[in-house]
Amino acid sequence: MKNFKTIVSIVLVVAMVVILCACGAQTPADNSTPANNTPANNTPADNGKKDEEKKDEEPAQQEYTEKYNFIFSCIDAAGGTWDQLIAQPLVKMLDEYSDGRITTEVYYSGAIAGQGTTLEAISNGLADMGADVMTAYKGIYPYCELYETAGIDYGSTESFTRLYAEYVDLFHDDFDDFVTIARYSSGLIGLLSKFPINSVADVKGHTFRCPTNVNGYITAMGGTGTMMSMNEVYEALKLNVIEGCSCTLSRVGYNAFWEQAKYFLPWSWCNGAQTIAMAKDNYDSLDPGAQAAVDRVCEEFMEVGINYVKTADAEALDVVMQACPDFTYTQLTPEATEEFVNAANADLEAKAAELDGLGLDGTGALEWCRANSKKYYQA
């Protein structure tokens, strides 16, 4: 009996071993769940599902709805070339790039601020944006003054503008209260006179209206410089208070100065810049979408300024020549050009020394301008 029980126990053990082996050899069913970290866990179908879930979790791009109205101050008149090629494109670009959320009201002819006071008006909240010439801010922006001081031949208003953009990145004035929309040449500057000027000697003994950046230059050539508003120039010429005027060619045409003085000597070695600026506080108060619109205008507007100057100069010369066929647009010989450029050296060196005395790098800025003056040169 005992042996029989032993045999039965052995048979049962063998049978259980066989059954367990058979179970281990079975293939998992199609609907079985694969173990973690196996390739089946990362099938394309599963990835697609996870991507959709992730997309659902990502926040939708924020839509900005707040609207802004900018007050823009300028000294130019409505309807003119400046309005058509500067003010109106600016209004349009701000509107378009902000999807209609930024509108701009333009106040013309110095209704808010005159020349040399626009930036102050922006700082005081009388305007949000504005345009003005930097030469009207004597002593406030010394690096700008140096760049616009006569004596470096940049070749054209376009090359002057393009190099200016690089210059201000290297030599910084205290402009922290503003966002610069654009800096571009005010236009082809020259010396308008009642008599022909073909050499430095022809300037001696005569009186000219001129901005501050040209005053020292006129003095160096033996002339007398005086500052007055452009609105006063026509009568001053008519009454012989002055015998000429340092100004842009476009001013000669649109202010009809040619009626009183018929000679114009273009100066490629003397330029002034117009700056369009916005209050930094106003910019900071904009939502990110509106700031992006302003940033885009900043990136693109220099080209708008260059196009304006080219068009305005060409139109002005055409207007003048049609109205006054005997008007003389003087073309200097290379030797005479060099003589005029050299005559400005003393004033230019004095301006650089003035900056050095303020603890600025006037000498370095002047050397940079001279070394790079031909970078974008166009005769």
CATH of the structural domain 68-186+272-311, one choice from 1.10.630.10, 1.10.10.10, 3.90.230.10, 3.40.190.170: 3.40.190.170
Q: Which two tokens stand for residue 269?
A: 């070695």
What's the 3-state SS for 238-258?
HCCCCCEEEEEHHHHHHCCHH
27 or 229, greater pLDDT: 229
- Residue-averaged pLDDT of the chain: 87
Q: Which two tokens stand for residue 219?
A: 């003095």
Q: Is the pLDDT of residue 277 over 80?
A: yes
Domain boundaries, the chain: 68-186+272-311, 189-270+315-372
- Collect all residues with Cβ–Cβ distance below 8 Å to 347 and sequence separation of at least 6: 149, 150, 151, 216, 217, 219, 220
Q: Is the pLDDT of residue 80 over 60?
A: yes
The architecture in CATH of the region 189-270+315-372 reads 3-Layer(aba) Sandwich (3.40)
Q: Average the pLDDT over 350-361 and give the result.
A: 97
Helix axes 288-323, 88-97, angle to 10 degrees: 160
Residue 264 exposed, middle or buried by CB count within 10 Å (0-12, 13-18, 19+) = buried
Q: Which two tokens stand for residue 238?
A: 């008519």
Distance CA 294, CA 290 (A): 6
Residue 180's nearest CA partner among 60, 305, 78 is 305
Q: Which of 51-65, 107-121, 357-371 shows the lowest mean pLDDT across its residues?
A: 51-65
Residue 243's nearest CA partner among 205, 212, 272, 211 is 205
Residue 331's nearest CA partner among 268, 242, 376 is 268
Bridge partners of residue 73, in order along the sequence: 107, 130
Q: Which of 100-104, 314-318, 322-326, 375-379 shows the lowest mean pLDDT across its residues?
A: 375-379
Residue pLDDT, tens place only, 134-153: 888 989 999 999 999 999 99
Q: Which two tokens stand for residue 208?
A: 């000219």
User: What is the pTM (predicted TM-score) of this model?
Assistant: 0.79
Cβ proximity of 45 and 63 under 8 Å:
no
Cβ proximity of 254 and 80 under 8 Å:
yes
Return the pLDDT at 233. 96
In the block, which residue shows the tokens 């902000």? Answer: 98
Q: How confident is the model at residue 31 (pLDDT cuts 50, 70, 90)?
A: very low
Are domains 68-186+272-311 and 189-270+315-372 of this chain identical in fold?
yes
Half-sphere exposure for 113 (CA within 13 Å, toward CB): 24
Return the pLDDT at 90. 98
Return the pLDDT at 37. 44
Helix axes 288-323, 157-170, angle to 10 degrees: 150
Q: How confident is the model at residue 40 (pLDDT cuts 50, 70, 90)?
A: very low
Distance CA 94, CA 63 (A): 17
Distance CA 269, CA 159 (A): 11
* Greatest alpha-carbon span in the chain: 151
Bridge partners of residue 328, in order along the sequence: 263
Residue 155's nearest CA partner among 270, 249, 250 is 270
Q: How confident is the model at residue 377 (pLDDT cuts 50, 70, 90)?
A: confident
Q: Which two tokens stand for residue 62?
A: 């924020």
Helix (H) or strand (E) holding 121: helix 118-123
Q: Is the pLDDT of residue 86 over 90?
A: yes
